[in-house]
Amino acid sequence: MYDGPLDDVAINARTKSGRLLTGRKLANSPVTRACLESGRRLAERELFGLVHEKHKHRYRPLGTLTQENIATGAELIFEEARADDRIARALFGTPPSRKKDRTKPSVAALKDRWPVLALYLGDLVRYALRERYSLTDGMLDEATRAELRETTNFSDAVDKVAYADMKIVHADETSARFQYLVTGLADFHEQIREALSGVYKHSFLYWRGVYAEILKARGVSLRPGITLDELTMMLTGMAQGLGLRHIGATDGKVIDHHNRRSVLGKASQILIAGAVDPGDGREVADVVDELMAVRVPPDEDRRKPRPLRSWLGRLRRGRS
């Protein structure tokens, strides 16, 4: 259970509860944390197919996230805190002080923080995906960044980072599955869309900085017509798309754990090979047109020899 500050997670509880003077305290209260953890657990059960049989015939995504279910789950978390020090510390601080907030979870307490369920869903998305930030930030240590900047075997370094990225950030853990699920709902839910945009922006800015650092260190530039923002979007988009395929297609073979390789590593190298300017200053479209030009043999070579042509050929060879 997450025990960090919720100021930038429970944004709606903090700013839209109608209690602006106590918003920060409300966002970090035990009840708020328990309600968000309850929603995360309900979503996790759905994602791993643990929805009760009687609900499956009328299942819809996140359909179990009702105010009653959320409040009931939060009550259970309060009960767990009596026997679990880790949960008690997350809810009531270190050392746990149950006097911190005497309010108990209930539907009324839930509505006090989120007047409508749509506002709760926005904060839940941020809460459930909060680890995506830390996973991204912790991806590359300084030794790995130095290897990307300096090693002569750059392709191996790319393979190593791509494998780690797929294994850690885009593999089939709960947060990845949850992200893909709510992405499909984003068009219909403004709160979800806003919460997701923060996750994507964080990932984009992190990797953009990494790519800029590598290009500068290696003294190379991108082909005309390709910007660093576009390259970053393409590379991060490939990672997200391959992560989705890895989860959804059992025979996808996106990740090769035995050889510690992934399709993302190969795809990244192909994209880099096309995007980096080797010094000719040409746009990528010109290079592609040249590479894919149809190579048709001359008409002479395609015609079958006729008897007269064959006789003339033998005659010329005999004279020489």
Q: Work out the burial of residue 115: count CB atoms within 10 Å of its CB; fewer than 13 is exposed, 13-18 middle, 19 or more buried.
A: middle
Q: Tell me if 180 sits within 8 A of 249, measured CB to CB.
A: no
Of 3-17, 36-50, 224-238, 290-304, least confident by mean pLDDT is: 290-304
**If you average pLDDT over residues 167-177, what whole number do you get?**
72
The phi-psi region of residue 5 (left if phi > 0; otherwise alpha if psi is between -120 and 50; otherwise beta) is beta
Mean pLDDT within 199-224: 94
Q: Which of 18-22, 44-48, 72-76, 278-282 has the lowest mean pLDDT?
A: 18-22
pLDDT at 57: 45
Whole-number pLDDT of residue 261: 92
Structure-model confidence comparison of residues 100 and 31, the more confident one? 31
Q: Would you say how long the chain is, in residues? A: 320
Q: Which of 168, 179, 136 is nearest to 40 (CA)?
A: 179
Q: What's the confidence (pLDDT) of residue 58? A: 52
Confidence band for 143, pLDDT divided at 50, 70 and 90: very high
The pTM assigned to this predicted structure is: 0.76
Q: Where are the alpha helices (DSSP H) in the chain?
A: 11-15, 23-27, 30-47, 53-56, 67-80, 85-92, 107-113, 117-128, 130-137, 142-150, 154-168, 174-185, 190-218, 228-248, 263-275, 284-291, 299-302, 307-319
pLDDT at 320 over 60: no
pLDDT score of 196 = 87
Judged against a pLDDT cut of 60, whether residue 91 lies above it is answered with yes
Top-confidence range, 127-141, 162-176, 262-276: 262-276
Q: What are phi and psi of 272, to 5 degrees?
A: -65, -40
Q: How far apart are CA 25 and CA 10, in angstroms?
A: 11
Is residue 95 reached through a cis peptide bond, with omega within 30 degrees of 0 on the bond before it?
A: yes
Question: For position 18, what pLDDT does the model report?
Answer: 66
